[in-house]
Amino acid sequence: MNRIYMDNAATTAVSRQVLDKMLPYFTDVYGNASSIHGTGRDARKALEEARRQVASVLNCKPQEIYFTSGGSESDNWAIKGTAFANRRKGGHIITSAIEHHAVLHTCQWLEKQGFTVTYLPVDEYGQVDPRDVEAAITDKTILISVMAANNEIGTIQPIREIARIARAHQVYFHTDAVQAMGAIPMDVQEIGCDMLSLSAHKFHGPKGVGALYIRQGVRIDNFMHGGAQERGKRATTENIPGIVGLAEALKLATQDLEEKSARIAALRDQLIDGLTAIPYTRLNGHRTNRLPNNCNISIRFVEGEALLLRLDLAGIAASSGSACTSGSLDPSHVLLAIGLPHEIAHGSLRFSLSDATTQEEVDTVLRTLPGIVETLRSMSPLYADFMEAQK
Protein backbone atom coordinates (compact mmCIF):
# COMPACT_ATOMS: atom_id res chain seq x y z
CA MET A 1 0.00 0.00 0.00
CA ASN A 2 1.23 3.48 -0.89
CA ARG A 3 1.34 5.43 2.33
CA ILE A 4 0.44 9.10 2.37
CA TYR A 5 2.15 11.02 5.16
CA MET A 6 0.29 14.15 6.21
CA ASP A 7 1.58 14.44 9.75
CA ASN A 8 4.59 16.67 9.11
CA ALA A 9 3.74 18.87 12.10
CA ALA A 10 4.50 15.82 14.27
CA THR A 11 7.78 15.10 12.54
CA THR A 12 9.31 15.02 9.07
CA ALA A 13 11.53 12.63 7.13
CA VAL A 14 15.23 13.46 7.21
CA SER A 15 16.11 14.57 3.71
CA ARG A 16 18.73 12.51 1.85
CA GLN A 17 20.97 15.56 1.42
CA VAL A 18 20.88 16.18 5.19
CA LEU A 19 21.65 12.57 5.99
CA ASP A 20 24.59 12.50 3.56
CA LYS A 21 26.00 15.60 5.23
CA MET A 22 25.65 14.00 8.69
CA LEU A 23 27.08 10.54 8.04
CA PRO A 24 30.83 11.34 8.03
CA TYR A 25 30.47 12.82 11.52
CA PHE A 26 29.57 9.42 12.98
CA THR A 27 32.51 7.47 11.60
CA ASP A 28 35.22 9.75 10.20
CA VAL A 29 35.03 13.08 12.00
CA TYR A 30 33.97 11.49 15.29
CA GLY A 31 36.16 13.58 17.60
CA ASN A 32 35.09 15.37 20.75
CA ALA A 33 34.88 19.05 19.85
CA SER A 34 36.61 19.90 23.14
CA SER A 35 39.70 17.79 22.36
CA ILE A 36 42.93 19.46 21.43
CA HIS A 37 44.02 16.99 18.72
CA GLY A 38 43.22 17.12 15.02
CA THR A 39 40.23 14.75 15.21
CA GLY A 40 38.72 16.99 17.86
CA ARG A 41 39.60 20.17 15.98
CA ASP A 42 37.82 18.87 12.86
CA ALA A 43 34.69 18.29 14.92
CA ARG A 44 35.00 21.77 16.41
CA LYS A 45 35.30 23.24 12.92
CA ALA A 46 32.08 21.51 11.84
CA LEU A 47 30.33 22.69 15.00
CA GLU A 48 31.27 26.32 14.51
CA GLU A 49 30.48 26.22 10.80
CA ALA A 50 26.99 24.88 11.67
CA ARG A 51 26.57 27.65 14.22
CA ARG A 52 27.51 30.29 11.62
CA GLN A 53 25.03 28.78 9.16
CA VAL A 54 22.15 28.85 11.65
CA ALA A 55 23.07 32.38 12.71
CA SER A 56 23.05 33.55 9.12
CA VAL A 57 19.53 32.17 8.58
CA LEU A 58 18.25 33.79 11.79
CA ASN A 59 20.25 36.98 11.14
CA CYS A 60 22.14 37.00 14.44
CA LYS A 61 25.67 36.50 15.73
CA PRO A 62 26.98 32.92 15.86
CA GLN A 63 27.66 33.28 19.59
CA GLU A 64 23.95 33.90 20.11
CA ILE A 65 23.06 30.37 18.91
CA TYR A 66 23.04 27.57 21.51
CA PHE A 67 22.48 23.99 20.41
CA THR A 68 20.11 21.89 22.52
CA SER A 69 18.43 18.49 22.40
CA GLY A 70 15.27 19.86 20.77
CA GLY A 71 12.37 22.26 20.94
CA SER A 72 11.16 21.21 24.38
CA GLU A 73 14.59 21.75 25.91
CA SER A 74 14.93 25.13 24.21
CA ASP A 75 11.54 26.20 25.62
CA ASN A 76 12.38 24.88 29.09
CA TRP A 77 15.71 26.63 29.14
CA ALA A 78 14.44 29.98 27.83
CA ILE A 79 11.65 30.14 30.39
CA LYS A 80 13.23 28.61 33.51
CA GLY A 81 16.59 30.22 32.74
CA THR A 82 15.24 33.77 32.52
CA ALA A 83 12.72 33.23 35.32
CA PHE A 84 15.36 32.31 37.91
CA ALA A 85 18.01 34.75 36.66
CA ASN A 86 15.60 37.70 36.91
CA ARG A 87 13.67 36.70 40.01
CA ARG A 88 14.93 39.72 41.92
CA LYS A 89 13.28 42.02 39.39
CA GLY A 90 9.98 40.17 39.72
CA GLY A 91 8.29 36.84 39.37
CA HIS A 92 5.64 37.45 36.73
CA ILE A 93 5.49 35.72 33.35
CA ILE A 94 3.01 36.24 30.50
CA THR A 95 2.18 33.53 27.98
CA SER A 96 -0.82 32.37 25.96
CA ALA A 97 -3.39 29.65 26.60
CA ILE A 98 -2.50 27.81 23.38
CA GLU A 99 1.25 27.36 23.78
CA HIS A 100 2.85 23.95 23.35
CA HIS A 101 3.00 21.92 26.57
CA ALA A 102 6.78 22.47 26.68
CA VAL A 103 5.92 26.10 27.50
CA LEU A 104 2.66 25.60 29.42
CA HIS A 105 3.87 22.81 31.69
CA THR A 106 7.10 24.71 32.36
CA CYS A 107 5.07 27.76 33.39
CA GLN A 108 2.81 25.62 35.58
CA TRP A 109 5.89 24.17 37.26
CA LEU A 110 7.25 27.68 37.83
CA GLU A 111 3.97 28.61 39.53
CA LYS A 112 4.74 25.88 42.07
CA GLN A 113 8.13 27.54 42.61
CA GLY A 114 6.42 30.81 43.54
CA PHE A 115 6.20 32.57 40.17
CA THR A 116 2.94 33.99 38.89
CA VAL A 117 1.85 33.39 35.31
CA THR A 118 -0.78 35.11 33.16
CA TYR A 119 -2.23 32.83 30.47
CA LEU A 120 -3.66 35.15 27.82
CA PRO A 121 -6.84 34.05 26.05
CA VAL A 122 -7.04 33.87 22.26
CA ASP A 123 -9.83 34.77 19.83
CA GLU A 124 -11.90 32.25 17.87
CA TYR A 125 -9.04 31.88 15.35
CA GLY A 126 -6.40 31.34 18.01
CA GLN A 127 -4.86 34.84 17.79
CA VAL A 128 -3.37 36.61 20.80
CA ASP A 129 -4.33 40.30 20.97
CA PRO A 130 -1.16 42.40 21.52
CA ARG A 131 -3.27 44.86 23.55
CA ASP A 132 -3.96 42.03 26.02
CA VAL A 133 -0.21 41.47 26.29
CA GLU A 134 0.41 45.13 27.09
CA ALA A 135 -2.45 45.24 29.61
CA ALA A 136 -1.06 42.20 31.43
CA ILE A 137 2.41 43.70 31.97
CA THR A 138 3.15 44.80 35.54
CA ASP A 139 6.33 46.13 37.16
CA LYS A 140 6.99 42.50 38.19
CA THR A 141 6.85 41.08 34.65
CA ILE A 142 10.15 39.55 33.55
CA LEU A 143 9.22 37.44 30.53
CA ILE A 144 6.66 37.16 27.76
CA SER A 145 6.54 33.89 25.79
CA VAL A 146 4.22 33.62 22.79
CA MET A 147 4.66 31.09 19.99
CA ALA A 148 5.36 32.20 16.42
CA ALA A 149 2.72 29.82 15.03
CA ASN A 150 0.50 27.23 16.66
CA ASN A 151 1.37 23.57 16.15
CA GLU A 152 -2.23 22.31 16.07
CA ILE A 153 -4.26 24.91 14.20
CA GLY A 154 -1.43 26.71 12.39
CA THR A 155 -2.45 30.25 13.42
CA ILE A 156 0.40 32.76 13.12
CA GLN A 157 0.77 35.10 16.10
CA PRO A 158 1.55 38.85 15.92
CA ILE A 159 4.99 38.31 17.43
CA ARG A 160 6.50 41.49 15.95
CA GLU A 161 3.96 43.67 17.72
CA ILE A 162 4.35 41.68 20.93
CA ALA A 163 8.15 42.05 20.68
CA ARG A 164 7.81 45.83 20.32
CA ILE A 165 5.58 46.01 23.37
CA ALA A 166 7.96 43.81 25.38
CA ARG A 167 10.92 45.96 24.47
CA ALA A 168 9.11 49.20 25.30
CA HIS A 169 8.44 47.79 28.79
CA GLN A 170 11.95 46.27 29.12
CA VAL A 171 10.58 42.76 29.43
CA TYR A 172 12.23 39.78 27.72
CA PHE A 173 10.35 38.21 24.83
CA HIS A 174 10.74 34.54 23.90
CA THR A 175 9.03 32.91 20.93
CA ASP A 176 8.60 29.19 20.35
CA ALA A 177 9.22 28.98 16.59
CA VAL A 178 9.33 25.18 16.47
CA GLN A 179 6.44 24.94 13.97
CA ALA A 180 7.11 28.21 12.18
CA MET A 181 10.78 27.62 11.39
CA GLY A 182 11.22 26.49 7.81
CA ALA A 183 7.60 27.33 7.02
CA ILE A 184 7.61 31.13 7.26
CA PRO A 185 10.52 33.65 7.41
CA MET A 186 12.14 34.01 10.85
CA ASP A 187 14.62 36.89 11.22
CA VAL A 188 15.29 37.68 14.88
CA GLN A 189 16.29 41.30 14.18
CA GLU A 190 13.16 41.97 12.18
CA ILE A 191 10.98 40.17 14.75
CA GLY A 192 12.74 41.84 17.68
CA CYS A 193 12.64 38.80 19.98
CA ASP A 194 15.20 38.11 22.72
CA MET A 195 14.97 34.32 22.52
CA LEU A 196 13.71 31.87 19.92
CA SER A 197 13.33 28.06 20.05
CA LEU A 198 13.63 25.74 17.08
CA SER A 199 13.82 22.00 16.47
CA ALA A 200 15.54 20.23 13.55
CA HIS A 201 13.10 17.35 13.02
CA LYS A 202 10.29 19.70 12.06
CA PHE A 203 12.10 20.77 8.89
CA HIS A 204 13.60 17.50 7.59
CA GLY A 205 16.50 17.45 10.03
CA PRO A 206 17.25 14.73 12.60
CA LYS A 207 15.38 14.19 15.88
CA GLY A 208 17.04 15.00 19.19
CA VAL A 209 18.63 18.30 18.21
CA GLY A 210 17.41 21.88 18.39
CA ALA A 211 18.65 25.36 19.11
CA LEU A 212 17.90 28.34 21.27
CA TYR A 213 18.72 31.84 20.07
CA ILE A 214 19.64 34.03 23.06
CA ARG A 215 20.26 37.70 22.28
CA GLN A 216 23.56 38.86 23.69
CA GLY A 217 23.01 40.52 27.05
CA VAL A 218 19.93 38.51 28.09
CA ARG A 219 20.24 37.45 31.74
CA ILE A 220 19.68 33.71 31.73
CA ASP A 221 20.85 30.91 34.00
CA ASN A 222 22.98 28.08 32.63
CA PHE A 223 20.86 25.07 31.75
CA MET A 224 23.14 22.08 32.12
CA HIS A 225 26.09 22.03 34.49
CA GLY A 226 29.27 20.04 34.06
CA GLY A 227 31.26 21.37 31.13
CA ALA A 228 32.37 24.35 29.10
CA GLN A 229 30.31 23.46 26.04
CA GLU A 230 28.01 26.09 24.52
CA ARG A 231 29.90 28.90 26.31
CA GLY A 232 29.49 27.11 29.60
CA LYS A 233 25.72 27.44 29.49
CA ARG A 234 24.80 23.98 28.31
CA ALA A 235 27.18 21.18 29.24
CA THR A 236 27.35 17.85 27.36
CA THR A 237 29.59 16.70 24.54
CA GLU A 238 28.12 18.23 21.42
CA ASN A 239 26.00 16.07 19.11
CA ILE A 240 28.04 16.97 16.04
CA PRO A 241 26.19 14.82 13.44
CA GLY A 242 22.88 16.16 14.73
CA ILE A 243 24.05 19.77 14.77
CA VAL A 244 25.51 19.46 11.26
CA GLY A 245 22.18 17.95 10.18
CA LEU A 246 20.21 20.77 11.80
CA ALA A 247 22.24 23.44 10.03
CA GLU A 248 22.00 21.74 6.64
CA ALA A 249 18.25 21.13 7.04
CA LEU A 250 17.67 24.74 8.05
CA LYS A 251 19.63 25.99 5.07
CA LEU A 252 17.62 23.79 2.68
CA ALA A 253 14.28 24.59 4.32
CA THR A 254 14.79 28.33 4.04
CA GLN A 255 16.04 28.28 0.42
CA ASP A 256 13.34 29.51 -1.97
CA LEU A 257 11.03 29.61 1.01
CA GLU A 258 8.46 31.89 -0.60
CA GLU A 259 8.12 29.74 -3.68
CA LYS A 260 7.86 26.50 -1.70
CA SER A 261 5.37 27.98 0.75
CA ALA A 262 3.14 29.19 -2.05
CA ARG A 263 3.07 25.73 -3.63
CA ILE A 264 2.31 24.00 -0.32
CA ALA A 265 -0.31 26.61 0.60
CA ALA A 266 -2.11 25.98 -2.70
CA LEU A 267 -2.39 22.27 -1.85
CA ARG A 268 -3.44 23.16 1.71
CA ASP A 269 -6.21 25.39 0.35
CA GLN A 270 -7.52 22.55 -1.81
CA LEU A 271 -7.63 20.35 1.29
CA ILE A 272 -9.37 23.02 3.36
CA ASP A 273 -11.95 23.77 0.66
CA GLY A 274 -12.56 20.12 -0.17
CA LEU A 275 -12.83 18.86 3.39
CA THR A 276 -14.95 21.70 4.73
CA ALA A 277 -17.37 20.95 1.87
CA ILE A 278 -18.33 17.80 3.85
CA PRO A 279 -21.54 18.77 5.71
CA TYR A 280 -21.18 19.77 9.38
CA THR A 281 -17.44 20.40 9.33
CA ARG A 282 -15.48 23.53 10.19
CA LEU A 283 -11.98 24.87 9.76
CA ASN A 284 -10.03 25.46 12.95
CA GLY A 285 -7.61 28.39 13.00
CA HIS A 286 -7.45 31.44 10.75
CA ARG A 287 -8.29 31.00 7.06
CA THR A 288 -5.34 32.99 5.72
CA ASN A 289 -3.16 33.94 8.68
CA ARG A 290 -1.95 30.36 9.09
CA LEU A 291 1.05 28.16 8.37
CA PRO A 292 1.19 27.16 4.69
CA ASN A 293 1.22 23.44 5.56
CA ASN A 294 -1.56 23.24 8.17
CA CYS A 295 -5.15 22.10 7.66
CA ASN A 296 -7.15 21.46 10.85
CA ILE A 297 -10.84 20.65 10.69
CA SER A 298 -13.54 19.51 13.08
CA ILE A 299 -16.03 16.94 11.86
CA ARG A 300 -19.20 16.83 13.93
CA PHE A 301 -20.79 13.63 15.27
CA VAL A 302 -17.66 11.51 14.89
CA GLU A 303 -14.61 11.02 17.07
CA GLY A 304 -11.04 11.86 16.04
CA GLU A 305 -9.28 8.63 16.90
CA ALA A 306 -11.82 6.58 14.96
CA LEU A 307 -11.22 8.89 11.96
CA LEU A 308 -7.44 8.47 12.33
CA LEU A 309 -7.67 4.67 12.49
CA ARG A 310 -9.87 4.52 9.40
CA LEU A 311 -7.52 6.88 7.56
CA ASP A 312 -4.57 4.75 8.65
CA LEU A 313 -6.28 1.62 7.29
CA ALA A 314 -6.55 3.54 4.01
CA GLY A 315 -2.83 4.36 4.19
CA ILE A 316 -3.18 8.00 5.24
CA ALA A 317 -1.31 9.36 8.28
CA ALA A 318 -2.81 12.39 10.04
CA SER A 319 -3.36 13.41 13.67
CA SER A 320 -6.16 14.53 15.97
CA GLY A 321 -6.79 16.68 19.04
CA SER A 322 -9.31 14.25 20.51
CA ALA A 323 -8.97 13.11 24.11
CA CYS A 324 -8.38 9.56 22.94
CA THR A 325 -5.17 10.61 21.22
CA SER A 326 -4.00 13.01 23.92
CA GLY A 327 -3.97 10.36 26.64
CA SER A 328 -6.26 12.43 28.87
CA LEU A 329 -10.01 12.84 29.27
CA ASP A 330 -10.02 16.30 27.73
CA PRO A 331 -9.54 17.15 24.08
CA SER A 332 -6.78 19.54 22.98
CA HIS A 333 -6.35 22.67 25.11
CA VAL A 334 -5.91 24.64 21.89
CA LEU A 335 -9.30 23.63 20.48
CA LEU A 336 -10.99 24.35 23.80
CA ALA A 337 -9.24 27.77 23.99
CA ILE A 338 -10.67 28.83 20.60
CA GLY A 339 -14.10 28.05 22.01
CA LEU A 340 -14.97 24.66 20.57
CA PRO A 341 -17.35 22.58 22.69
CA HIS A 342 -15.82 19.29 23.87
CA GLU A 343 -17.84 17.09 21.52
CA ILE A 344 -16.74 19.07 18.46
CA ALA A 345 -13.12 19.23 19.63
CA HIS A 346 -13.16 15.42 19.93
CA GLY A 347 -13.82 15.20 16.19
CA SER A 348 -10.81 17.18 14.99
CA LEU A 349 -8.28 16.16 12.36
CA ARG A 350 -4.98 17.79 11.45
CA PHE A 351 -3.35 17.25 8.07
CA SER A 352 0.12 18.78 7.86
CA LEU A 353 1.84 18.87 4.49
CA SER A 354 5.48 19.09 3.44
CA ASP A 355 7.45 20.04 0.39
CA ALA A 356 7.14 16.40 -0.68
CA THR A 357 3.32 16.40 -0.65
CA THR A 358 1.90 15.84 -4.13
CA GLN A 359 -1.31 16.80 -5.90
CA GLU A 360 -2.18 13.08 -6.19
CA GLU A 361 -1.89 12.66 -2.42
CA VAL A 362 -4.20 15.60 -1.79
CA ASP A 363 -6.66 14.17 -4.32
CA THR A 364 -6.57 10.77 -2.59
CA VAL A 365 -7.31 12.32 0.81
CA LEU A 366 -10.17 14.34 -0.69
CA ARG A 367 -11.58 11.16 -2.25
CA THR A 368 -11.14 9.00 0.87
CA LEU A 369 -12.23 11.07 3.84
CA PRO A 370 -15.88 11.74 2.86
CA GLY A 371 -16.60 7.98 2.75
CA ILE A 372 -14.95 7.44 6.14
CA VAL A 373 -17.00 10.25 7.66
CA GLU A 374 -20.18 8.79 6.16
CA THR A 375 -19.44 5.32 7.55
CA LEU A 376 -18.66 6.59 11.05
CA ARG A 377 -21.68 8.91 11.05
CA SER A 378 -23.90 6.01 10.01
CA MET A 379 -23.00 4.35 13.32
CA SER A 380 -23.09 7.52 15.43
CA PRO A 381 -26.07 7.97 17.78
CA LEU A 382 -25.24 11.71 17.89
CA TYR A 383 -25.70 11.97 14.14
CA ALA A 384 -28.93 9.92 14.25
CA ASP A 385 -30.37 12.18 16.97
CA PHE A 386 -29.29 15.32 15.10
CA MET A 387 -30.87 14.18 11.83
CA GLU A 388 -34.03 13.16 13.68
CA ALA A 389 -34.25 16.64 15.24
CA GLN A 390 -33.79 18.25 11.79
CA LYS A 391 -36.95 16.56 10.48
d(CA 69, CA 223): 12
**Dihedral pair phi/psi, residue 384, rounded to 5°:** -60, -45
d(CA 129, CA 351): 26
Residues taking part in catalysis: 324
Contact predicate 163/195, CB 8 Å: no
d(CA 210, CA 104): 19
Distances (CA, A) of 94 to 127, 141, 223: 15, 7, 21
Q: Identify which of residues 93 and 340 has a Cβ nearer to other proteins in the complex.
A: 340
Q: 186-196: buried (b, 16+ CB within 10 Å) or exposed (e) per residue?
A: bebeebbbbbb
d(CA 294, CA 240): 31
User: How many other CB atoms sit within 10 Å of the CB of residue 28?
Assistant: 10
Distances (CA, A) of 247 to 51, 147, 156, 384: 7, 22, 24, 53
**Helical pair 71-85 and 101-112, crossing angle rounded to 10 deg:** 30
Contact predicate 178/100, CB 8 Å: yes
Q: Which residues bind other proteins (CB under 8 A)?
A: 301-306, 309-310, 313, 322-324, 327, 329, 331, 341-343, 346, 378-384
Residues paired with residue 297 on neighbouring β-strands, in sequence order: 283, 349
